[in-house]
């Protein structure tokens, strides 16, 4: 390279005084020295051959003393702007050039310019750091308050926005909380939640505050952004959720998985299954019995048998003189007159009170198997009297009942 092209020092450098003749005879490359801390030169210049050429303060510095050539050569004396403040540089002694706040600081007090009248060298702006997790979108040069901290920093999420000062209202910064493990969030100015690294994780919300595989999946979530998913779908017929600790499990009998495999639902598509609203459990329908070999867990009762909740969904044969109803949920007596009823406890057809007869012998669609006791007579027992002789005169029956009560009282007195 031609030495004639190397006769200038770069900006913010000056010629070594001991080699100042270099720029005159141009016979050798100049020796350039960097200006002292925070000071600099206006530009690359052939006249930058003394330290006093470092006469300005660089960006984010302010000047405490100007450069001098006598009695000694000195550069400008420059100090960093106070914590959190910024400047565009300085050419005069004035701390007020530090008049803006760095990003993620808010301005509690603006700068005060220097004044020759009272020998005031100026006051920098007062900048305070935003509370943890909150910040600002850019540098600030306007006085405000803590509400200038209106965004949440990267990997924080906002639970409440900043509140500006008003009459009777204290200002506050945005309330920001650190993202849970295995999640992230860009810098943001709206309320919301972080995003799990794993695309197959349950989205975070006010109810979901940690990253886990979503319902119907099992495994461990990805632990870094852009990493492959560690969550895999449960096999067909199995489910998973937070209660299973995201391990796949098989639904019990009479249940099948729901659409997202997050749990089990009653297998209403299977024959003989119904959801019991009172217990939220699957049970067999009336006329069906428990059957673990069946796909649905229930199978229909054979012809002539019935079942319901009182039989614990076990099929029971209808007794003589009766047949099953249409849905096989119960037995109905062949004699369908009002004098006859089916007793589920004894599993038999009986006569109503004060009737006698044998309805268990009745054939289909007949009536009259039970006959009323004669006038002023009643059955000796409350129900199921078969013979007329069991009907007794009501006055005599009442007398017998009264005598039994009286005898019991006398026995108690003697004891």
b or e along 341-374 (b: 16 or more beta carbons within 10 Å of the residue's beta carbon)?
A: bbeeeeebbbbbebbbbbbbebeeebeebbebbe
pLDDT of amino acid 406: 58
Query: What pLDDT band is residue 44 in, cutting at 50, 70 and 90?
Result: low
Averaged pLDDT for residues 152-171: 94
Which tens digit of pLDDT belongs to each residue from 300-323?
999 999 999 888 889 999 999 999
pLDDT of amino acid 17: 57
> Residue 107 class from Cβ within 10 Å (0-12 exposed, 13-18 middle, 19+ buried)?
buried
pLDDT of amino acid 389: 60
Cβ(84)–Cβ(105) below 8 Å? yes
Which tens digit of pLDDT belongs to each residue from 271-285?
788 877 677 678 888
Query: What pLDDT band is residue 84 in, cutting at 50, 70 and 90?
Result: very high
pTM of the model: 0.62
In the predicted model, is pLDDT for residue 69 greater than 70?
Answer: yes
**Share of residues in the chain with pLDDT > 90 (%):** 57
In the predicted model, is pLDDT for residue 45 greater than 80?
Answer: no
Owner of token pair 């062949």: 334
pLDDT of amino acid 4: 47
Q: Which of 172-186, 245-259, 280-294 has the highest mean pLDDT?
A: 172-186
Which tens digit of pLDDT belongs to each residue from 357-406?
999 999 988 899 999 988 766 655 444 556 666 676 554 454 455 455 55
pLDDT of amino acid 403: 55
Q: Which of 26-35, 130-139, 259-268, 389-398 has the highest mean pLDDT?
A: 130-139
Q: How far from chain centre, in Å, is Cα 266?
A: 26
> Average pLDDT over the chain, rounded to whole?
85
**Share of residues in the chain with pLDDT > 70 (%):** 82
Tell me the CB-side half-sphere exposure of residue 373, using CA atoms within 13 A: 24
User: In this predicted structure, which of 148-157, 175-184, 339-348 has the lowest mean pLDDT?
Assistant: 339-348
In the predicted model, is pLDDT for residue 169 greater than 80?
Answer: yes
Q: Phi and psi at residue 204, in whole multiples of 5°?
A: -75, 145
**Pairwise CA distance, residues 252 & 183, whole Å:** 35
In the predicted model, is pLDDT for residue 120 greater than 70?
Answer: yes
Which tens digit of pLDDT belongs to each residue from 295-305?
777 889 999 99
Tell me the CB-side half-sphere exposure of residue 164, using CA atoms within 13 A: 3
């Amino acid at each position: 390279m031609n030495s004639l092209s190397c006769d200038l020092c770069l900006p913010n450098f000056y010629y070594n005084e001991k080699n100042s003749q270099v720029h005159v005879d141009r016979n050798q490359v100049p020796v350039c020295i960097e200006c002292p801390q925070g000071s600099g030169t206006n530009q690359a210049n052939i006249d930058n051959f003394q330290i006093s050429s470092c006469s300005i303060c660089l960006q984010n510095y302010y000047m405490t003393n100007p450069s001098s050539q006598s009695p000694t050569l000195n550069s400008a004396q420059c100090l960093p702007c106070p914590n959190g403040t910024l400047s565009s540089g300085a050419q005069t002694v004035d701390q007020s050039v530090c008049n803006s706040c760095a990003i993620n600081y808010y301005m509690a007090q603006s700068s005060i310019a220097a004044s020759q009248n009272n020998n005031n060298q100026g006051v920098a702006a007062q900048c305070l750091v935003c509370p943890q997790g909150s910040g600002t979108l850019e540098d600030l040069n306007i006085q405000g308050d803590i509400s200038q901290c209106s965004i949440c920093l990267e990997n924080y999420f906002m639970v409440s926005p900043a509140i500006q000062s008003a009459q009777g209202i204290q200002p506050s910064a945005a309330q920001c909380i650190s993202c849970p493990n295995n999640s992230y969030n860009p810098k943001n100015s709206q309320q919301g939640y972080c995003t799990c690294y794993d695309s197959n994780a349950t989205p975070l919300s006010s109810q979901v505050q940690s990253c886990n595989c979503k319902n119907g999946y099992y495994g461990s979530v990805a632990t870094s952004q852009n990493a492959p998913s560690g969550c895999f779908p449960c096999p067909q017929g199995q489910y998973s959720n937070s209660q299973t600790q995201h391990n796949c499990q098989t639904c019990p009998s009479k249940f099948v998985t729901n659409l997202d495999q997050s749990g089990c639902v009653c297998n209403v598509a299977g024959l003989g299954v119904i959801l019991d609203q009172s217990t939220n459990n699957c049970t067999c329908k009336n006329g069906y019995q428990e059957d673990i070999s069946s796909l649905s867990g229930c199978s229909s009762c054979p012809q002539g048998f019935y079942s319901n909740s009182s039989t614990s969904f076990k099929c029971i044969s209808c007794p003589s003189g009766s047949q099953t109803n249409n849905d096989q949920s119960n037995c109905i007596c062949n004699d369908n007159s009002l004098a006859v009823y089916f007793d589920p406890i004894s599993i038999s057809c009986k006569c109503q009170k004060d009737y006698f007869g044998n309805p268990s012998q009745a054939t289909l669609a007949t009536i009259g198997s039970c006959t009323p006791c004669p006038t002023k007579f009643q059955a000796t027992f409350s129900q199921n009297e078969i013979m007329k002789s069991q009907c007794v005169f009501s006055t005599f029956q009442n007398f017998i009942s009264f005598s039994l009560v009286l005898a019991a009282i006398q026995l108690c007195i003697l004891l």
